[in-house]
Amino acid sequence: MEYRKLGETDLTLSAITFGAWAIGGWMWGGADRKEAVKAIQASYAEGVTSIDTAPAYGQGLSEEIVAEAIQGIPRDKVQLLTKFGLRWDVKEGEFFFKSKDAAGNDLDFYKLASKASVIKECEDCLRRLKTDYIDLFQIHWPDATTPIAETMEALALLQQQGKIRAAGVCNYSVDQMKEAAKTFSLASDQVPYSMVLRDIEKELVPYALENKKSIIAYSPLQRGLLTGKIKPGHQFNEGDTREGNRFYTDDNIKKVNAFLETLKPWTKEKNCSIAQLVIRWTIGQPAITVALVGARNAEQAVQNARAIDVKLPPGEIELINKQIAFML
């Protein structure tokens, strides 16, 4: 595994980090807890020491599963990344969207990042994760009802108290990053990034490079689309939000799969899967410190982690970029 420094902090993360959204079941059509625990443990055995989760992922379930999976591992050998600012238990802040829990009950989600809420959520996260500190605490989505400075002040306080080692944001624009920097030194911005979704390269990547901020890429496999395993007519489980998403229309699936066919000579040459090649490409891009990759079982986790063994020098990355530009 490769380990990379996060921004200007003293925090080092595994370049491939376990993304724990899917194991919470929420928006993914369910998950098996025992298999999820095995997936995290198998990932760790392959050198993946960092795990990214959030309270929203299963309304606390993902964090609880992570805590169960890392029992027995020395705390300083694993890095826990979690989030705050997406509440389903209060009706405060900025209304975000309607959803359902695993039992089918209606949930209203609000973006809330007030100082009091941030501090409360930190305590809740610490309890569910069964730890006394969080390595990276991140706002899940910007909250238009709370001044950014107020949120950053809460993070500074938590860092002073030793409850978090570093703080980052998710889904922040460059302007929001600049506003936050007036109050607190952020380590990172976690944003969606993949071969088929590269809009951050216009503004965020140059900003991150200039200001020594890390980018944590989520959904590098575009929620399974870039594995090549999703075919036109694919039936998603009930509650899986990929159903109806623009990336999963039959026409787009056909287009992406045609592109993935052009990558097969690379996979044969390097003796790897398409997914492994895509993961390796992602962490080879400018400013991308780590890629979050989820797994529902141990086999998937091991295969994801072994993407690090794929050798993809800059010249080959550029050739793949040309294929992407031509096909997509």
Cα separation, 231 vs 313, whole angstroms: 30
Cα separation, 180 vs 203, whole angstroms: 16
Mean pLDDT of 181-209: 97
Mean pLDDT of 92-114: 91
293 forms bridges with which residues in the sheet?
Answer: 18
pLDDT of 141 over the 70 cut: yes
Cα separation, 240 vs 199, whole angstroms: 25
User: What is the band of 31 on the pLDDT scale with cuts at 50, 70, 90?
Assistant: low
Mean pLDDT of 143-165: 98
Position 32 scores a pLDDT of 83
DSSP per residue, 131-174: -S-EEEEEESS--TTS-HHHHHHHHHHHHHTTSEEEEEEES--H
pLDDT of 258 over the 70 cut: yes
Cα separation, 39 vs 35, whole angstroms: 6
Cα separation, 208 vs 203, whole angstroms: 9
Instruction: Choose between 20 and 240: higher pLDDT.
Output: 20
Position 325 scores a pLDDT of 87
| pLDDT (tens digit per residue) in 278-316 | 999 999 999 999 999 999 899 999 999 999 999 999 999
Position 250 scores a pLDDT of 84
Mean pLDDT of 195-222: 97
Rounded to the nearest 5 percent, the helix, strand and coil shares of the chain are: 40, 20, 40
Position 276 scores a pLDDT of 97
User: What is the band of 29 on the pLDDT scale with cuts at 50, 70, 90?
Assistant: low
57 is catalytic: yes
Catalytic residue among 3, 44, 57, 218: 57
pLDDT of 244 over the 80 cut: no
Position 215 scores a pLDDT of 98
Instruction: For Cα atoms 104, 107, 110, give the angle at the middle one, nearest 5 degrees.
Output: 160
Q: Which of 150-164, 250-264, 265-279 has the lowest mean pLDDT?
A: 250-264
Alpha-carbon torsion angle 257, 30, 168, 15, nearest 10: -50
Instruction: Choose between 30 and 119: higher pLDDT.
Output: 119
Position 105 scores a pLDDT of 85
Position 25 scores a pLDDT of 63
At the second CATH level, the architecture of 3-224+274-311 is Alpha-Beta Barrel (3.20)
The domain spans of the chain are 3-224+274-311
User: What is the band of 157 on the pLDDT scale with cuts at 50, 70, 90?
Assistant: very high
